[in-house]
Structure 1
Amino acid sequence: MKKKQLYKSIELFVSENENWQESALVYHFFEIVQIMEGSGVRIVNENNYTYKKGDIFLFTPMDCRGFKSLTTTKFCSIRFSEIFLSTEIDAVNQNSNLKWLKQLEQLFYHHNRFDSVMIQNTSDCQMISNLIANIIIEHNQRALYHEQNMQQYITLILNILSRNIIPVSNHEIIQIEEPLINRMLTYIKQNIDKPHLLKIDNISKKFNLSKNYVGEYFKKLTGENLQKYISFYKMKCVEERLLYSEYTISQISNELGFTDESHLSRQFKKYYGVSPSKFKQEFFRKLADK
Structure 2
Amino acid sequence: MKRYILHTPFNIYHFEASTWMHAVHKHTYFEIIFILRGQGIHNINGNTFDYGEGDVFLLGPEDYHHFSIHEVTEFCFIRFNDSIHMHPTEGKDLPWQPIIKALLTTSSQSRGTLVVDKQEKLKLHHLRTVLEEEYKRDQSPYFASIRDSLLRSMLLILARNLFGQSPASALTKDSVEAILLYIRQHIHQPGKLGIDHLADVFHYAPAYISLFFKKQTGESLKQYIIKHRIKLIEARLLYSHLTLAQIADEFGYTDESHFCKQFRKYTGSTPSAFRRRT
Q: What TM-score comes out, normalization by structure 1 length? A: 0.56
1:135 is matched with which residue? 131
1:103 is matched with which residue? 102
2-side partners of 1:180 and 1:163: how far apart? 21
Q: Within 5 Å, which residues of 2 pair with 1:10-89?
A: 10-87=10-87
More helix by share: 1
2-side partners of 1:94 and 1:65: how far apart? 32
Q: Partner of 1:66: helix, strand, or coil? A: strand
1-side partners of 2:22 and 2:152: how far apart? 27
Aligned-residue CA RMSD (Å): 3.6
Conserved in 1, the CA contact under 8 Å of 2:26 and 2:63? yes
Q: 1:181 to 1:159 in 2, by over 3 A?
A: closer
Conserved in 2, the CA contact under 8 Å of 1:28 and 1:182? no
Conserved in 1, the CA contact under 8 Å of 2:44 and 2:65? yes
Q: 1:38 to 1:94 in 2, by over 3 A?
A: same
Conserved in 1, the CA contact under 8 Å of 2:99 and 2:156? no
List gaps (5 residues or longer) in structure 1.
Answer: 191-206, 215-290
Q: Partner of 1:86: helix, strand, or coil? A: coil
Q: Within 5 Å, which residues of 2 pair with 1:115-264?
A: 115-142=111-138, 143-165=140-162, 166=165, 168-169=171-172, 170=174, 171-173=178-180, 174=183, 176-178=225-227, 208=264
Q: How big is each residue's C-alpha offset from its partner over 1:108-156, in whole Å with a ceiling of 9 and x where there is no partner? A: x1x312x133212211111110100011011111233111111111111
2-side partners of 1:94 and 1:6: how far apart? 27
AA aligned to 2:70 is L
Deviation of 1:42 after TM superposition, in Å, equals 0.6
Conserved in 2, the CA contact under 8 Å of 1:82 and 1:101? no
Deviation of 1:99 after TM superposition, in Å, equals 4.4
List gaps (5 residues or longer) in structure 2.
Answer: 185-224, 240-262, 270-278
Q: How big is each residue's C-alpha offset from its partner over 1:29-74, in whole Å with a ceiling of 9 and x where there is no partner? A: 2111111121111111101111112211111223222212112211
Q: 1:10 to 1:97 in 2, by over 3 A?
A: farther
Q: How big is each residue's C-alpha offset from its partner over 1:147-187, in whole Å with a ceiling of 9 and x where there is no partner? A: 1111111111111112223453433223534489989x99x
Deviation of 1:92 after TM superposition, in Å, equals 3.0
2-side partners of 1:104 and 1:124: how far apart? 17
Conserved in 1, the CA contact under 8 Å of 2:100 and 2:156? no
Q: Partner of 2:22: helix, strand, or coil? A: strand
Question: Which is further off, 163-172 or 4-13?
Answer: 163-172
AA aligned to 2:124 is I
Q: 1:177 to 1:208 in 2, by over 3 A?
A: closer
2:252 is matched with which residue? none
Conserved in 1, the CA contact under 8 Å of 2:42 and 2:50? yes
Indicate the percent of aligned positions where both proteins have the same amino acid.
22
